[in-house]
Amino acid sequence: MLEPLRGGTDTEAPQSDIHDLGNAFQGRFGIRSLALTGLFILAALYTLYFARSFLLPIVLALLLNSLLSPVVRGLKKLHIPEGIGAGIVVFGMLGLLGLGIYKLSGPAYDWAAQAPQSMRKVEQRIRQLKKPVQTVSKATEQVEKITTVAGGGQGAPQKVEVQTQTLGQRVFSRASSLAADGMILVILLFFLLASGDLFLRKLIRVLPSLADKKRAVEIARQIETEISAYLLTVTMINCGLGLALWGALAVVGVPNPLLWGVLAAVTNFVPYLGAALVYITLAMVGFLTYPDLTHALMVPGVFLVLNLLEAYLVTPMVLGRRLTLNPVVIFLGLTFWGWLWGITGAVLAVPIMVVFKIFCDHSEPLRPIGEFLGN
């Protein structure tokens, strides 16, 4: 005999399956854990944003410590104490920086003094390109006048003036802040270099087993070696790009080629945005230097060739695929860190992401994230 049908069987089964699936999802991923993780991420972003003036010198000091600590260890092998070696490295770096600023201050001041005249010349050269924009602007003004006449019964809107700091006050405030951050950076970098392996030794002492101690030393050494190798390699590539641009512009006959070579080397630490700034600057220099359009475009064209060679040949060949980041990740990182920490954040975006990728590659739970960040 056929068994009688039970009411609601077809509807209760899917509900039971959904309930079991929800329990499984909650057991596997932990809804409460996900909520706490989200709150932690929001708190971390809040802290990174509002503590940026405190964190920026620390991050810069840590990156420079990874770059310069092999030099201090090399001096230690020559029987020079770490404190003295750290002083030699820090003061040597400051001396080179001061010498570079002194050599470039003259050409930079001349270009800054000629900026108003130069901008007028550039505007005259590209006036033909501005005619369509001016036509649209005039049409917009006419439409606005018609709209104002149509609503003539209404009174004129009251203007509200907001008093802000003058340009001199803003420059002085910014310069004072940069000087304070620079002093903190130099002092912290000196202590980090002079301390050597102090923090690593303290970490080894608190670890319980010998296997954990060996693993901690191995991971710390690998991360430091790869970070210092990356930063040193990128610095050498950027210096090579600056030297090549200096020589090429000197051959072409562009005034002050050293200034533009240094600009290219410094801004190349910021992918995409740095190259865009150099293109715009060299285009203006070309328009101011040469009367005809062909020779004027030759100046940014020289950098275009060198930049393409550096980006698509030299850097991938030297760094390899292991430390090469995904272009989408680079763009998102530039956007995020630029929003979070401004221009300095955009400069530090790629080194921070490379450090995070190296750390993920050496941590088993985070290895999929490192694979996602890679090219």
Q: In b/e form, how buried is each residue of 333-356, taking b as 16+ CB within 10 angstroms?
A: bbebbbeebeebbbbbbbbbbbbe
What is the predicted pLDDT for the residue at 6? 47
More confident residue, 155 or 105: 105
pLDDT digit string (tens) for 267-305? 888 888 888 899 998 988 888 888 777 888 888 999 999
What is the predicted pLDDT for the residue at 5? 45
Residue whose entry in the numeric block shows the structure tokens 């990182």: 333
Q: Cα–Cα distance between 134 and 132 in angstroms, integer?
A: 5
What is the predicted pLDDT for the residue at 202? 81
What is the predicted pLDDT for the residue at 3? 46
pLDDT band at 248 (very low <50, low <70, confident <90, very high): very high
Q: Cα–Cα distance between 287 and 120 in angstroms, integer?
A: 11
Tell whether the model's pLDDT for residue 189 goes beyond 50: yes
Mean per-residue pLDDT, 115-122: 59
pLDDT band at 255 (very low <50, low <70, confident <90, very high): confident
Per-domain residue ranges for the chain?
Answer: 49-123+180-196
What is the predicted pLDDT for the residue at 304? 92
Quote the strand ranges of the chain, DSSP E. Answer: none
pLDDT digit string (tens) for 36-80? 777 888 888 888 888 888 888 888 888 888 888 888 888 888 888
Entry field: residues in the chain: 375
Q: Cα–Cα distance between 289 and 74 in angstroms, integer?
A: 47
Would you state the structure tokens that stand for residue 202, as one six-digit string?
Answer: 């303290």
Which residues partner with 374 through β-bridges? 325
More confident residue, 203 or 145: 203
Contact 345, 325 (CB under 8 A): no
Proportion of the chain above pLDDT 70, given as a percent: 73
Q: Cα–Cα distance between 216 and 218 in angstroms, integer?
A: 5
What is the predicted pLDDT for the residue at 311? 84
pLDDT digit string (tens) for 228-237? 888 888 889 9
Quote the mean pLDDT of the chain: 77
pLDDT band at 201 (very low <50, low <70, confident <90, very high): confident
